[in-house]
A and B are shown apart, each in its own frame.
Chain A
Amino acid sequence: MSHITIDGQVVPFEEGQTIIEAATAAGVYIPHLCHNPEYAPHGSCKLCTVNVNGRNATACTFPAVEGQTVCNNTEELNFDRKRLTQMLFVEGNHFCPSCEKSGNCELQAVGYHLNMLDNHYPHFFALRDLDSSHPDLLLDRNRCIFCNLCVRASHADGKDVFAIAGRGINKHLIVNSASGNLGDSDINVDDRAAHICPTGAILVKGTAFKVPIGQRRYDHHDICDMSAGEQHGE
């Protein structure tokens, strides 16, 4: 079997695997938000940036190749990841104390993992719409980080309910229905797309605050110590 090294650890890989797939199989955590092993890579959040033979690359898109030397858990890369996470926080409107996803949110979990204590940058306070038209689901665009996971999951569901439109501060999640409202789309509460959001942008109604503070997924457990399934909320 072929091998790469990640932070000096020998990691085997199979032909066609990306660096993050090889790392996950070997139990090595590389921070990420837009990556989910179920779907094709998107490479947009950049949190999984690692150093491959002296150059930075996203581990979710970069193929593992025999003999690669990968640096992952370094002070320099983690500092870059903290800055990227801070950018995600200031770009949207992430008010954790009022968010139903708090404690179970992957964006928050990555912030905790990176010991992010402030947001560093000035806030955009972007104007984003909230869509509560669906009987079972809430779409709060304030919390969307454009990871594209709902787009990919809905495509796999065979429905293509979501897409991302616009650029820069006007970038936003759009819904495939005549009115543009989630309630008029084909999405169903049982769809994978309804449960894939790493933040609180797409939530199932009637499930909020069921788990007490202190017992939520990331309250006391660093996401880096979890299995791949647990990291993504399973």
Chain B
Amino acid sequence: MANKVRIATTSLAGCFGCHMSFLDLDERLVPLAELVEFNRSPITDIKHCAPCDIGLIEGGVCNAENVHVLREFRQNCKILVAVGACAINGGLPAMRNSVPLEECLREAYLDGIGVENPMIPNDPELPLLLNQVHPIHEVVKIDYSLPGCPPSADVFWKFLTDLLEGREPGLDYDLVHYD
């Protein structure tokens, strides 16, 4: 089918829980696959985003690579969606924002209980951490947000079927939760 809607997904500073929740669509994935195809996504292992109709972003931005990936998605996706609490407000990773970055690294890699060979990782391939974790709407324009930690499969289903059937997406009371 030539005219499938193209979707890209990624997890930035997230736990992949939103992706797991997406997979909770279970048997609904079969009819969905008739209508959409996946481009860049952990599901396909495609590394860079081609022009897409919908981009689903899980997680906030905690490092330089997150910012690059997020901008690539914005450039390539007609509709960009903040998926889950971390994308919307930074989520649990942003709870480090009250602690200076150096202290975080010190605790994790030097002074923490049980640390062996204390050393702060400095491989040049590792993306540099940002001083604070930010929600993605502070970096690029976001078209829709799906709250929840994670948003349930029903939220994904309602949102995607609304879009695919040409309706303005909306979530009823039972589909809106922040945890």
Contacts and interface: CB of A to CB of B under 8 A. Distances in A.
Contacts of A122: 138
A94 B178 CA distance: 10
Nearest to B172: A115
B140 to A, nearest CB: 13
B150 to A, nearest CB: 9
Contacts of B55: none
A115 B85 contact: no
Interface residues of B, number: 30
Nearest to A102: B179
Nearest to B60: A123
A102 to B, nearest CB: 4
A95 B85 CA distance: 8
Contact of A117 (B132, B135, B146): B146
Interface of A: 89-90, 93-99, 102-103, 108, 111-112, 115-120, 122-123, 125, 127-128, 213, 219-220, 222
A94 B89 contact: yes
A116 B173 CA distance: 10
| Nearest 5 Cβ contacts at the A-B interface | A96-B178, A118-B145, A97-B149, A96-B179, A125-B97
B56 interface: no
Contact of A95 (B92, B137, B174): B92
Interface string B131-146: 0101101100010111
Contact of A108 (B97, B98, B142, B178): B178
A197 B174 CA distance: 25
A127 B98 contact: yes
A125 B149 CA distance: 19
Nearest to B84: A97
B97 to A, nearest CB: 4
B95 interface: yes
Contact of B176 (A112, A119, A125, A213): A112
Contacts of B146: 117
From A89, A97, A116, A120, residue with most partner B Cβ within 10 Å: A97
Interface string B166-179: 00001101101111
